[in-house]
Amino acid sequence: MKELRETVKSLLTEGKVDLVIGWEKGTMPGASTPVFIDTAEKADSLIFDSTCRNNLSVYFTKDRRELAKDDKKIGVVVKGCDSRSLVLNITEKQIDREKVTIIGVPCNGVLDMKKVTGKVDGKEILEFTDDGERVTVKGREFEQTFPLDEVISDSCVTCVRRDAVEHDLFIGEAREPGSDENAYVEVEEFEKLDSGERWARMEQEYSACIRCYACRNVCPSCYCNVCFVDQNDPQWIGKSPEITDTMIFHIIRNLHVAGRCVECGACERACPMDIKLLLLNRKVAKEVRDRFGSVTGTGLENKPAMADFKEDENQDFIMG
C-alpha cells in the first residue's frame, strides 16, 4: 500500500501525470470505490486489496471525452484483467498509449461478496479485513476467517493473468501468466450438452434478466456512442424484459464483444439478478482462442481477432 501511494505521489509531484485513477476504501465493509487523485496529498487514500472489484479501464471508454479535456496525462492502477482491457482499447485506438501511465498491482483475486455473506449465513458484516491470503469478517457476536481463494469471484478462480500484461510501473514483482489448460472446464461441460439443452440453459439464465443494462454499463468493451438497444429509429428490439427481446440483447452483446471480452467478470458482479453472464462470454473467448489463437488484450501488437484476417486461419465454420 505504501509503495503504491509513494509511487502515485511521485508521479503527480514530478508532473508525469495530471490524474491517477485508483481505489479508496468504500463506506461499506468489504467495499472499495474508484477515486480520482489529482494532488499528492490525496494519494494517501489509495488502497489495493480484494475489495477493488471495478475494472477501472471503463473510465477511458465510457468517459473518454471528459478524460480527454485539457489533454491530460492519466495514470491508472490496474489488475491483470484491467490491463488487458486497456491493451484492447489501445489497439482499438480508443486510448493514446503515450498519455497513459499504467501502474500494475499484484492481484490475488477480487471478492465475491455474495460468497462472503453466504459463509456467515447472511448475517450483517460490520468489519472486514484482508491480509492478502485470508479475509476476516466481524459482526454482532461473531467473527470468522476463511481463505481468500474460497470467496473470490468466479472469474478470478480460472484467471491465469492476475498481474498486468502491460505496465509502466509495477508495485512489487509481476508474475508470469499461468497455464490455461483447465481454465475452461465449465465451458467444456456446457459444450457437452446438445444444442437444445444449451439453448434451454441460456433461456433459463436470461429469463431472470430485468434489462437494467448494468452488464453493459460496467463493460470497458461496450462503448458505442448509441447502443442498439437504445435506438428508436430503427428500433431493433422491444424495450420490455420479454424473453425473446432479452435473448436477442444478450446474444448480440455477446457477439459484439467476441474476441474483445477479457473475462474480467465485471458484468456478472454488477448483475442484480445473479445471472451467469460469463458462461457465454467465456464460451466465445474459448472459441476465439481455439480457432484464431487469439487471447484478448495480451499484447499491443495483436489486433482483436474480429478486426484481423490471416489467409491460413481456420475457416471451417463458413463451410458448415
> Per residue in 24-36, pLDDT tens?
999 999 899 999 9
Least-confidence region, from 37-46, 61-70, 148-157: 61-70
Question: Bigger pLDDT: 80 or 303?
Answer: 80
Average pLDDT over residues 202-214: 93
Residue 319 has pLDDT above 60, yes or no: no
Cis amide prior to 234 (ω within 30 degrees): yes
Average pLDDT over residues 221-238: 86
Residue 84 has pLDDT above 80, yes or no: yes
Residue 287 has pLDDT above 80, yes or no: yes
Residue 237 has pLDDT above 90, yes or no: no
- Tell me if 19 sits within 8 A of 60, measured CB to CB: no
pLDDT, tens only, 60-73: 887 765 666 667 89
Residue 280 has pLDDT above 70, yes or no: yes
What is d(CA 45, CA 55) in angstroms, rounded to the nearest whole number? 18
- The CA-based angle 110-111-112, given to 5 degrees, is 125
Fill in the DSSP letter of residue 39: S
Question: What percentage of residues in the chain have a pLDDT greater than 90?
Answer: 66
> What pLDDT is stored for residue 62 in this prediction?
76
Mean per-residue pLDDT over the chain, rounded: 90
What is d(CA 9, CA 28) in angstroms, rounded to the nearest whole number? 26
- Tell me if 267 sits within 8 A of 81, measured CB to CB: no
pLDDT, tens only, 174-200: 888 888 778 899 999 999 999 999 999
Residue 80 has pLDDT above 90, yes or no: yes
Contacts of 225 (CB under 8 A, 6+ apart): none
Contacts of 82 (CB under 8 A, 6+ apart): 55, 56, 57, 76, 164, 264
